[in-house]
Structure 1
Amino acid sequence: MSFQHLDIPTLQAWLDEGREAALVDIRDPMSYAQGHIPGSRRLDNDSVGAFLGETPAERPVVVVCYHGHSSQQAAAWLAGQGLSEVYSLDGGFTEWQLRHPDRVEA
């Protein structure tokens, strides 16, 4: 099972519709604290076990990094853990912040 790519406008539409998806941010703690997509949670090696334990396999998961590169490896790994619908956000948080400066939570 592999991951899919998700673009910023699609994620924006999902959030506007209230679509149930788990947003995970794999950036470092400082970057996450300075700003992240509302509703996202930081995911690292320490918290991934709990995340997998409480996330239904069928829930869409969107992985966010800085520019959409390292999120691809993380998304592929999560898909390999049995999650059925995993996305890597193209452009990452950097692109999101550029397009939606009003939709950033600190």
Structure 2
Amino acid sequence: MTPAPFQHLDIAALADWLEAGSPLTLVDIRDPQSFAQGRVPGSRRLGNDTVDAFLDEAPRQSPLVVICYHGHSSQQAAAWLSGQGFVEVYSLDGGFTDWQHRHPDRVER
């Protein structure tokens, strides 16, 4: 049986990792306007226009967390990024919507 290309990450675990200052890469695949209105602190937007540069510079050994609106499309992106050589890839369950609901004070604008 082939292992899953990515793992699921819940909001509480991400909050703990950020609080601890754990080294990780956060990418947000939402549209540019939504990203500009609010995002998980330290995340960078990843889209068709930025993916090539991201693949050139992102550390493959660092945990990579993919964020979308609700935690659905991030799963497809996480699986794809895993196939690009990232060794520890996570899809954020609940996405930014859940993050913003649970941590309104931890939204970067």
Counterpart in the other structure of 1:82: 85
1:91 is aligned to 94
Matched residue, 1:71: 74
* Displacement over 6 Å in runs of 4+: none
Task: Between 86-95 and 45-54, report the one with greater CA deviation.
Answer: 45-54
Q: Does 1:104 align with 2:107?
A: yes
TM-score, normalisation: structure 1: 0.97
Shift of the alpha carbon at 1:39? 0.3
* In 2: Cα distance, 1:26 partner to 1:55 partner: 15
The alignment of Structure 1 onto Structure 2 pairs a total of residues equal to 106
Gaps spanning 5+ residues in structure 2: where?
Answer: none
Q: Which residue of 1 aligns with 2:50?
A: 47
Structure-2 separation of matches of 1:33 and 1:9: 23
Q: What whole-Å deviation, never above 9, does each CA across 1:29-74 have from its counterpart, x for those lacking one?
A: 1100110011000000111111111112111100000000000000
SS at match of 2:104: coil
Q: Let me know the Cα RMSD of the aligned residues.
A: 0.8
User: Which structure 1 residue ranges, 5 or more long, are not aligned?
Assistant: none
Task: Tell me the TM-score normalized by structure 2.
Answer: 0.95
Q: Secondary structure at the match of 2:27?
A: strand
What is the CA–CA distance in structure 2 between the aligned matches of 1:52 and 1:3, rounded to whole Å?
17
d(CA) in 2 for partners of 1:3 and 1:50? 22
Classify the secondary structure of the residue corresponding to 2:48. coil
Tell me which amino acid in the other structure corresponds to 1:16. Answer: E
